[in-house]
Chains A and B, each alone.
Chain A
Amino acid sequence: MREMDLPPDDLSAISRRSFLKGATQVAAAGGLMGASAPQDAAEPPALAEVETLSGSSAMELSVNGTVQSVEIEPRTTLLSALRTHMDPPLTGTKEVCGTGSCGACTVLIDGQPAYSCLTLAATCSGRPVTTVEGFGSPDAMSDVQQAFCDKDGMMCGFCTPGFVVATHAALERSPGADLDELKYELSGNLCRCGTYPHVFDAAQAVQQDRARGGEGR
C-alpha cells in the first residue's frame, strides 16, 4: 500500500521522496501539474520587445475564405477554436483522439494537411485554414465529397470529414498516386467502422474523373 497525494504539489517534491524500486507516484487524471503558481524565476531581460500573446485575446482567423475575429488563448488549439470559439461553431471538424493520432480533425493550413488538435490557433494568424465545410455543402459538394457519397466512403461518418480533407490533400499532392501511394497519403486518418476500401474507391474515382478533365472542386 502506498500513500499518494493527487496531484503532487510539484515534481521536485516527488523526486525528493524516497521510493522503493517499482514504487510509483500517482497523479489524478488532470495530470501531474501542481498548483499552477506562475513561474517566478527571473528571466534575463529580452534584447528587444518580443511579441507576446498572453491570456485571452482576439485574433483574426481566416477560415474557408472568411476572416473572423475569435477570442482565444495561446493554448487554444485550432480544433477548439473551430468547434467552440467560432460563431457559429464549425463542428464538421471532429475531435477523436486529441493527440494527433487519428486524423478526424484534419484541416488544411496554407493548403497543407494538419491535425488541428496539435495546432495552436495563435500560430495560424495569416495562414488560411480550410475545413471540411470549406470544400462544399450538401447541395454543392466537391468532387471528393460526391465520390465519398457515390462509393459509400463512410459508415458512422465520424471520421469522414477528416478523410475528405485528407483525400483532397492527397490528390493535390499526388494526383496520379497508385493505390499503395494513396494508402500512404491517407495513413494519417483512422476509421473504426472499416470504411477504408470505399474511401480508396472514392479517391480513385476522383482521380479518374479529374484525368478525364473533370473540373475538380
Chain B
Amino acid sequence: MKDFDLKLPDSLDAAVGELPSEYSRDGAQVLAGGQDIVTVMKDAIERPAALVSLQRLGLDAIEWDGDGGVTIGATVTIQALAEDPNMEFSLPALREAARSIGSPQIRSQGTVGGNLNQRPRCPYYRHPSVSCFKKGGSVCLAEFGFNKYAAIFGGGPSYYSHPSDLATVLLMLGATVSITGPAGERRVPLSELYLLPEDALDTETVLSPDEILTSVHIPAQPPGARSSYLKFKERASYDFALAAVAVSVTRGDDGVVTEARVVLGGVAPKPWEVPAAARALVGEPMGPQAWTAAGEAAVADADPLEHNGYKIHLVKGLLFRALEALA
C-alpha cells in the first residue's frame, strides 16, 4: 500500500473540507470501517493521498421514530445493525441482509455507509494489473471474458454487479440517504443513489467526491407488509451474492396480494427493482403459480453474457423461495 495522510476531523464540516470537489485517483477519500477501501488501496486500485476518517464524527446511532421509521448512522457497524433489538421484529429483511454480509470480523468493523459505498467485486476490477473502464481504462474485459459473476441487467460499457446487500433491501424498504457536502445536507432516495455504468464509470453513486453519506432513513413500512431477503452465495461461508432478492408483500384479508415490491441484488450494477415482478403478484393469491409468474416477469429483460445466463434460472428460483418463505 502506498503511504497516505490520515485525517481525523472532529466535525462533519471539517471532514467535508478535507475532501476534493473533483474526482481523481489521488484525491482524498472517506474512511469508515476500512473493510473495502483498504483492500482496493492495497492493490493500488485506488491510491488516495489522504483518507478522511469518520471515526470521531459520532455517526454511529440507530434512532427509531415513534412511527416505526428508523434512522441509521453511516458508521453504525453491520453487527450493531443486525443486533438492534427492534430489527428482528420491525425490519427482518434488513436484519437478514446484515447477517448475510461478510463474516463476523467484517460485520464487526464494517459500517452501513461503507457497505453502501463499497466498490465492485468484479475480478478484473479487483486485479491489480488489469486496467478497465472502472479504473480509467478503455475496455471491460468481463464483457467477453470471465463474466460468471457479472451483471445480467443494466450492464455496458462495464458489467460489474453491485455487491451491497443492504442497498438491495433498503431500496425495497423505500429508504433515503442523507448526504452532506460543502453546500450542506441533501436527501436522496435509495432509488436514485446508484448510477449505471452508462452514466458514470469512476463511481457507482451520485455522491460527489466531497460529499459524505451520513445516515440512512427507512420510513415506517405499510401495515401488514411482510418482507424478506434471500441471498445466494456460491460459498455459504462468507461470500458476496451471486444473486439476491428483497421482497415485500402485503395481503388483503382474502389472502390476495395487494401490494408488492421486488428488488434484485447481485445481478446489475445497482440494486435492480423489477416492478413487473411485483405487478405479477398483485391481485393474485400467494402460491406457486404467482411466484413462477413473478420470476418470469423478473427476468424478462435480462441480457446475459456468455457465462452468466444461469443467473436467470437462479433469480427465478430465489424469488420463488423467498415468496414461499413469506407465504
Are A112 and B108 closer than 8 Å at their CB atoms? yes
Between B1, B31, B105, the greatest number of chain A beta carbons within 10 A of the residue's beta carbon is seen for B105
Are A74 and B5 closer than 8 Å at their CB atoms? yes
Are B35 and A26 closer than 8 Å at their CB atoms? no
Q: Which A residues are in CB contact (< 8 Å) with B128? A: 27, 29-32
Q: Which B residues are in CB contact (< 8 Å) with A17? A: 138
Q: Can you name the residue of chain B whose Cβ is closest to the Cβ of A110?
A: B108
Q: Which A residues are in CB contact (< 8 Å) with B47? A: 33
Tell me the residues in window 1-45 of chain A with beta carbons closer than 8 Å to chain B beta carbons: 8, 11-12, 14-15, 17-19, 21-33, 36, 38-39, 41, 43-45
Are B3 and A75 closer than 8 Å at their CB atoms? yes
User: Can you identify 26 A-B contacts, CB atoms within 8 angstroms?
Assistant: A11-B136, A12-B136, A14-B136, A14-B137, A27-B128, A33-B2, A38-B49, A39-B26, A44-B17, A47-B13, A50-B9, A52-B8, A53-B6, A74-B4, A74-B5, A99-B42, A112-B79, A112-B109, A113-B105, A114-B109, A115-B105, A120-B51, A123-B6, A169-B104, A188-B102, A188-B238
Q: How far is the CB of B142 from chain A (nearest CB, A)?
A: 11
Q: Can you name the residue of chain B whose Cβ is closest to the Cβ of A10?
A: B25
Q: Is A103 an interface residue (CB 8 A)?
A: yes
Q: How far is the CB of A76 from chain B (nearest CB, A)?
A: 9
Once bound together, how far apart are the Cα atoms of A185 and B105, in whole Å? Answer: 9
Q: Interface size (A, Cβ < 8 Å)?
A: 68
Partner of A100, one of B53, B106, B141, B237: B106
Tell me the residues in window 49-94 of chain A with beta carbons closer than 8 Å to chain B beta carbons: 50-55, 73-75, 77
Q: Which B residues are in CB contact (< 8 Å) with A140? A: none
Q: Which B residues are in CB contact (< 8 Å) with A46? A: 14, 17-18
Tell me the residues in window 30-49 of chain B with beta carbons closer than 8 Å to chain A beta carbons: 31, 34-35, 38-39, 41-45, 47, 49
Q: Which A residues are in CB contact (< 8 Å) with B11? A: 48
Measured CB to CB, the residues of B under 8 A from A are: 1-11, 13-15, 17-18, 20-22, 24-28, 31, 34-35, 38-39, 41-45, 47, 49-51, 53, 55, 77, 79, 99, 102-106, 108-109, 128-131, 135-139, 141, 144, 236-238
Once bound together, how far apart are the Cα atoms of A177 and B14, in whole Å? Answer: 44
Are A41 and B20 closer than 8 Å at their CB atoms? yes
Q: Can you name the residue of chain A whose Cβ is closest to the Cβ of B26?
A: A39
Once bound together, how far apart are the Cα atoms of A122 and B31, in whole Å? Answer: 12
Q: Is A217 an interface residue (CB 8 A)?
A: no
Q: Is A195 an interface residue (CB 8 A)?
A: no
Looking at chain A's contact residues, the main secondary structure is loop
Are A185 and B104 closer than 8 Å at their CB atoms? yes
Known A54-B5, A75-B3; contact A187-B103, beta-carbon cutoff 8 A:
yes
Once bound together, how far apart are the Cα atoms of A17 and B138, in whole Å? Answer: 8
Known A11-B25, A24-B130, A47-B17; contact A118-B4, beta-carbon cutoff 8 A:
no
Are B39 and A99 closer than 8 Å at their CB atoms? yes
Q: Which A residues are in CB contact (< 8 Å) with B27? A: 39, 41
Are A188 and B5 closer than 8 Å at their CB atoms? no
Once bound together, how far apart are the Cα atoms of A22 and B132, in whole Å? Answer: 10
Partner of B51, one of A74, A184, A189: A74
Known A32-B128, A43-B18; contact A188-B138, beta-carbon cutoff 8 A:
no
Are B139 and A21 closer than 8 Å at their CB atoms? yes
Are B44 and A120 closer than 8 Å at their CB atoms? no
Once bound together, how far apart are the Cα atoms of A115 and B139, in whole Å? Answer: 33
